[in-house]
Amino acid sequence: MAIRNIIKEGDPMLNKVCRPVEKFDGRLAQLIDDMAETMKEANGVGLAAPQVGVLRRVVVIDVGDDHGLIELVNPEIVEHSGEQECVEGCLSSPGQYGITKRPAKVKVRGFSRSGEPVEVDGEELLATACCHEIDHLNGILFKTHVLRMLDPDEVGGK
């Protein structure tokens, strides 16, 4: 496993739509392992492949709940309901946070690293993280959904 560089806002790579994964092989497994390690090292709750310079539909998420590390290949939101406002940030926009409006619940379908079907039901932070990371796969940054950016002192000076 290796820590990869996280691309920062302003890099055109973050505005591109990712291609679906077609090969479920060792290279994909290595990418997922590297992404999980990179996310953990950066104290993030999610990371999408384009954030590490790979234009493929792959995300990792770990919000610290019973789901543990979630690996999703070619994920799609197939159901969503309700809405919530929450504080959202991004590893590609360090130190920047905003209040966003997202679904309160989502159902996501995708595949595991080995090509097996995976389904994730997410609420609250997990729902937000799923939406956020899948947006990255479509070239969309969280600021698109921001109702109001926060000053650093509003989020504990992070």
What residues are annotated to the active site?
133
Sole residue written with tokens 């995300």: 59
Contact yes or no for 141/92 (Cβ under 8 A): yes
Tell me which residue of 43, 152, 28 sits closest to 6, measured CA to CA.
43
115: tokens are 């090509």
54-59: Cβ within 8 A, 24+ apart: 55/13, 55/16, 55/18, 55/19, 56/18, 56/19, 56/20, 56/21, 56/31, 57/18, 57/19, 57/20, 57/21, 57/137, 58/21, 58/28, 58/31, 58/32, 59/35, 59/133, 59/134, 59/136, 59/137
